[in-house]
Amino acid sequence: MQHFDLPLKNRPKNIVVLTGAGISQESGIRTFRAADGLWEDHRIEDVATPEGFARDPALVHRFYNARRQHLQSDDVVPNPAHLALAEFDQAVSGQLLVVTQNVDDLHDRAGQAQLIHMHGELLKARCAVSGHVTRAPLVLDESMKCDCCGLSETLRPDIVWFGEMPMEMDRIYQALSCADMFISIGTSGNVYPAAGFCREANQVGACTVELNLEPSSTSSEFQYTFYGPAGSLVPAFIDYLKRLPVAG
Ligand code: APR
């Protein structure tokens, strides 16, 4: 049983949680930078950049179609980490925001109310011309037309690629500016701007906590670090927060 030795008198009221691929690993989704991670089989510049899409859209569609199909298979479901966050969110309505770098829908399926997909969503497609966002079919390809402008060859996965601006950054920085706790779960801390959120939170005096399988690239910036698989570590940490007294 993990012991969380934080000197908190009361339960934090404005909690921002950042999640990465590690939170979905126990749901059967591959992470990126592990020895068996997605970036071992695929070159980032081929499948996760606007230039790669312009060069070979069919290859990029195949990469995301395979991930989308896997996400919708019966054995991929939210794990206890997604469920504990969603349940806590419902209990402390309005006090918890989850910002995920993940493009899967496991936080959504767990019932997370306040959720930002800063790197986009696998289950959505976006027209590069009109910006219209729609539900992605299981198999997206160049022949499909945008519902809005009627053009073909313009639909792309609604994913933020390397070199593009993540989504809803104003809302995220606003939430960080008044956070009293920042928790980073299952991310290696290699990709900015998300890797800079701990520093932002430290600057406003928030309590910063890393929950990960192993130390990340930014571990030294966190005030508290706890290591283990998210499926057991996150529910235990949420349980610890739940038991803290609520300030009067
Ligand atoms: N529980 C907790 N943490 C885990 C688990 C687990 N079961 N399994 C793996 N991890 C940790 C790893 O130790 C690693 O630190 O999760 C982290 C996953 O790191 P990455 O594969 O780099 O994924 P992430 O940090 O989400 O990547 C950030 O990079 O490729 C881009 O846009 C993509 O959103 C992604 C971004």
CA distance to 120, 153, 231, per residue, from 58 (Å): 20, 10, 35
What was the pLDDT predicted at 248? Answer: 73
Same domain, 182 and 197: yes
Same domain, 41 and 82: no
**Which one, of 182, 172, 168, 166, lies nearest residue 221 by Cα?**
182
Write the pLDDT tens digit of every residue in 31-70: 999 888 998 889 999 999 999 999 999 999 999 999 999 9
Q: What is the mean pLDDT of the chain?
A: 95
Tell me which of 159, 175, 207 is where a domain ends.
159
Residue nearest atom 14 in ligand 1 by C-alpha distance: 188
Residue 42 annotated to the active site: no
Q: Which atom of ligand 1 is nearest to the CA of 188?
A: 15
What was the pLDDT predicted at 102? Answer: 98
DSSP state at residue 72:
T
What CATH number is attached to the domain comprising 187? 3.40.50.1220
Same domain, 135 and 234: no
Q: Which atom of ligand 1 is nearest to the CA of 44?
A: 30
Tell me the backbone φ, ψ of residue 73, rounded to 5 degrees.
-75, 155
Task: Return the best residue to mutate from 18, 30, 32, 165 for the ligand 1 pocket (most ligand atoms within 8 A of CB).
Answer: 32
Same domain, 86 and 195: yes
What was the pLDDT predicted at 36? Answer: 87
What was the pLDDT predicted at 5? Answer: 84
Tell me which of 136, 159, 182 is where a domain ends.
159
Same domain, 85 and 13: yes
Tell me which of 137, 159, 181 is where a domain ends.
159
What was the pLDDT predicted at 144? Answer: 86
Using a 6 Å CB cutoff, which residues line ligand 1? 20-22, 25-26, 31-34, 37, 101, 119, 186-188, 190-191, 212-214, 216, 229-230
Q: Where are the alpha helices (DSSP H) in the chain?
A: 38-41, 44-47, 50-55, 57-71, 80-91, 106-110, 169-177, 197-203, 230-242
Are 18 and 182 a contacting pair, CB within 8 Å? yes
Same domain, 127 and 232: no
Catalytic-role residue among 82, 107, 117, 119: 119
Same domain, 172 and 113: yes
Same domain, 81 and 201: yes
* Residue 163, token pair as written in the block: 């070199």
Location of structure tokens 């508290």: 224
pLDDT digits (tens), the chain, 248 positions: 678 989 999 999 999 999 999 999 999 999 999 888 998 889 999 999 999 999 999 999 999 999 999 999 999 999 999 999 999 999 998 899 999 999 999 999 999 999 999 999 999 999 988 899 999 999 999 888 888 888 777 899 999 999 999 999 999 999 999 999 999 999 999 999 999 999 999 999 999 999 999 999 999 999 999 999 999 999 999 999 999 999 87
Give me the interface pTM, i.e. the ipTM.
0.99
CA dihedral of residues 30, 88, 240, 96 (deg, nearest 10): 80
Q: Which atom of ligand 1 is nearest to the CA of 37?
A: 21
> Domains in the chain: how many in total?
2
Residue nearest atom 36 in ligand 1 by C-alpha distance: 191
Full domain range(s) for residue 146:
31-75+122-159
Same domain, 181 and 231: yes
What was the pLDDT predicted at 150? Answer: 81
